[in-house]
Amino acid sequence: MKTKNIMIVGVGGQGSLLASKLLGRLLLTKGYDIKVSEVHGMSQRGGSVVTYVRFGDKVYSPVIDKGEADYIVSFELLEAARWTEYLKNGGTIVTNTQQINPMPVITGAAQYPEQLVEKMQSANLNVEAIDALKLANEAGSAKAVNIVLMGHLSRHFDFDLSEWMDAIEKSVPAKFLELNKKAFLLGRDA
């Protein structure tokens, strides 16, 4: 099988490590070769962060390059727009519509661009935009944005729902399990 590439992008602190852990767990049970590259250290402090998940028969490079991503899952709208160049022709962007102002916008040095979903669509990109923050709050915690988006991404793969649920069980603490399962299903149905 040709290597599949999923990029998870967002703002440091939004929980991209848990999302990639969940994907990694699931893919390992399916017998794929996998590489997951994460960001630790300074960039985690509210900066733009990106995690690369690659799987297939044999995966060499740990990173995804421009024009290679089958999916970009973005936890924040501006971050989706930042990374579009990495999407392969025919790939799909799954993005949260939530906006988090970066420091240049906060200080007034730059403007947060308007109507980014529409602008991405008019650039002929496949964009699936959902209000993951609203769904996460519905599930019980704003922090579950990551799992909501994984739920939506899951629609693009023909793994059984039970396999996703198993991976969630193995990735989150027991006391948050029900919340995360609910968040996943809300995202999957959105």
Partner 1 sequence: MKMLMLGNEAVARGLYEAGCAFVSSYPGTPSTEITEAIAKYQEVYAEWAPNEKVAMEAAFGACLSGKRSFCGMKHVGLNVAADPLFTIAYTGVNAGMVIGVADDAGMHSSQNEQDSRHYARAAKIPMLEPADSAEALHFAKLAYELSEQFDTPVLLKMCTRISHSQSVVETGDRIEISKAYEKNPQKYIMMPGNAKRRHPFVEERTKKLAAWAEDCCINRLEEGNDHSIGIITSSTAYQYVKEVLGDTYPVLKLGMIWPMPEKKIRDFAASVDKLVVVEELDSFIEAHCKDLGLTVSGKEIFPCIDEFSQNLVAGKMNVEKETDGVALSEAIPARPPVMCAGCPHRGLFYTLAKNKITALGDIGCYTLGAVPPLGALDTTICMGASISGLHGFTKAQQGAMDGKAVAVIGDSTFMHSGITGLVNVAYNESNATVIIVDNSITGMTGHQQNPTTGYNLKGDPATKIDLETLCRAVGIRRVRVVDPYDLKETEDAIKEELAANEPSVIISRRPCALLKYVKHNKPVEINADKCVGCKMCMKIGCPAISMKDGKAQIDNTLCTGCNVCTQLCKIGAMKKGEEA
The minimum distance between CB 58 and partner 1, in angstroms, equals 9
Kindly indicate which of the ranges 62-70, 146-154, 164-172, 176-184 contains the residues binding partner 1, using the contact rule CB under 8 A. Answer: 62-70
Q: How many of the other CB atoms lie within 10 Å of CB of 44?
A: 15
Q: How many of the other CB atoms lie within 10 Å of CB of 60?
A: 9
Query: Tokens at residue 102, please?
Result: 């970066």
61: left (phi over 0), alpha (psi -120 to 50) or beta: beta
| The only residue of 60, 160, 162, 175 in contact with partner 1, by rule CB under 8 A | 60
Any contact of residue 2 with partner 1 (CB under 8 A)?
no
Kind of pairing between the strands at 33-37 and 48-56 = antiparallel
Any contact of residue 88 with partner 1 (CB under 8 A)?
yes
* 164: three-class secondary structure by DSSP: helix
Any contact of residue 106 with partner 1 (CB under 8 A)?
yes
Write out the residues near partner 1 by the rule CB under 8 A.
Answer: 11-13, 20, 24-25, 28, 33-48, 59-63, 65-69, 78-79, 81-82, 84-89, 101-113, 116, 119-120, 123-125, 142
